[in-house]
Chains A and B, each alone.
Chain A
């Protein structure tokens, strides 16, 4: 028999390290005579798109084309410490420090522009390749010419930005308090089909809504959401980490199975944008928030289909058949008996 069910899962996630643990980043930026800029940041690009993101933020803040930005990341000889790439903190912390580096560089640039344009540096804005008096737009100089001028006169052409989101700790006695600098939210919705003959659980549809604050690069955010959901699906249905005495017993792709293209639905990403005043242009991290709700969502859908809770991961066909009483109990089942789940 094939049974279908629908489930929802939601989560709240504290971004960064929280609980008074050091959480900071420094970004350096340098202006070249031709108006291009180079960004130095110590965080590593793992494919999540950090380099693209920082270049986009810097281009926006300085009002220059994306193509005029260059970036060097995770070079311990040259890049300042940015802390690890973890806790979904990169957009939030690295992004803010990059914006601060830009603002630091804009100070001497505005000073010189003010001298050249005979205007108040505080009234200057950086937009569309120009540095312009916002009250008197005819007073303007191109960013490129200003960059050349900065170098000719030996002005400061480097900027540095330090950003810390280190929070206070919670109350030692009561564990109450605001542990994180900001929080992320996500919800997912899945439809599954459980084949009671084979034990196979198939996720037919999976929609994932993640609050990105502001999606600096929507396509990359979608990539994080889709990839995160598929990892979460693997955790729910396939990925069985066997650890004995601290040692992985199946650390191979032939014994530790992860989803293939044939195992997953086309995840439907939904980017939710609730401006976060503490994030760079309102943005925050989406990486882990996109992964966390998937397994609960799928397990809720399975419960909806079966009318029975599954209390183990992963819900492999074998374990599902045992649960359904269609397979002899051979090994001890991993159950979490006293989890306070409501019965469906």
Chain B
């Protein structure tokens, strides 16, 4: 990699405009974690297998470890830091905690981002659809059951709160 390969990253991250000159030719994951210090996005494998680096790029879920950072220029990125806050959790986060779907937490940010993506497209998923929606996210601790039920619980809550609304509204 060319050490002098500086590029201008101009984009929106979690609703805030970002403009930075940084070393180019790296992954979106590196830009988020190393340059913006948004370490909620995890690197589980770095090769597109585990889903722990899942973020949303213009509303689409992508693997930040396989996405070149340049790809995000001019785009809007949503990471786990932009979803709820410790005192005001997003219903998906609250439901995962409530159900016991979080153990070590390594998979959790990616799970939440995949769940949000799923619920955005399909606000009332069946268990099979939830399983499919998170089948790209590995979890070594929970056995998945409590995560699946957590997402189902969140879906029901979100549906009850705004039957016609979308998940987006509750994303900060």
| Residues of A in contact with B (beta carbons under 8 Å apart) | 46-49, 219-220, 222-223, 225-231, 252-254, 258, 260-262, 264, 266-267
Contacts and interface: CB of A to CB of B under 8 A. Distances in A.
B132 A253 contact: no
B47 A254 contact: yes
A261 B135 contact: yes
Contacts of A48: 103
10 contacts: A46-B103, A47-B105, A223-B100, A223-B103, A226-B142, A226-B145, A260-B136, A261-B131, A261-B137, A261-B148
B161 to A, nearest CB: 25
Contact of B100 (A219, A228, A231): A219
B45 A261 contact: no
Contact of A231 (B45, B49, B131, B140): B140
B78 interface: no
B143 to A, nearest CB: 3
A229 B146 CA distance: 14
Contacts of B136: 260
B92 interface: no
Given A223-B141, A230-B143, A262-B132, 15 more contacts: A47-B103, A47-B105, A223-B103, A223-B146, A226-B144, A228-B143, A230-B142, A231-B140, A253-B45, A253-B47, A253-B50, A260-B136, A262-B135, A266-B145, A267-B143
A262 B142 CA distance: 14
Interface residues of B, number: 28
A117 B10 CA distance: 69
Contacts of B139: 261
Interface string B53-79: 000000000000000000000000000
Contacts of A228: 143
A224 B31 CA distance: 35
Nearest to A217: B100
Which of the listed residues B44, B47, B137, B141 has the most CB atoms from chain A within 10 Å of its own CB? B141
B52 to A, nearest CB: 10
Contacts of B140: 227, 231, 258
A227 B142 contact: yes
Contacts of B138: 253, 258, 260
B17 interface: no
A17 B46 CA distance: 36
Contact of A260 (B45, B48, B103, B135): B135
Minimum-distance CB pairs A-B, first 3: A47-B104, A226-B143, A47-B103
Interface in B103-120: 103-105
Given A223-B146, A254-B49, A266-B145, A46 B100 contact: no
Nearest to A223: B100
Given A227-B142, A254-B49, A260-B135, A222 B100 contact: yes
A294 to B, nearest CB: 11
A229 B147 CA distance: 15
Contacts of A220: 100
Contacts of A229: 143
Contacts of B80: none
A254 B45 contact: yes
B134 interface: yes
Nearest to B134: A261
A230 B50 contact: no
Nearest to B146: A223
A230 B107 CA distance: 15
B23 to A, nearest CB: 26
Contacts of A253: 44-45, 47, 49-50, 138
A262 B48 CA distance: 17
A230 B103 contact: no
B113 to A, nearest CB: 15
Nearest to B103: A47
Given A47-B103, A49-B103, A227 B143 contact: yes
A51 B49 CA distance: 31
Contacts of A47: 102-105, 141
Given A49-B103, A219-B100, A253-B138, A264 B47 contact: no
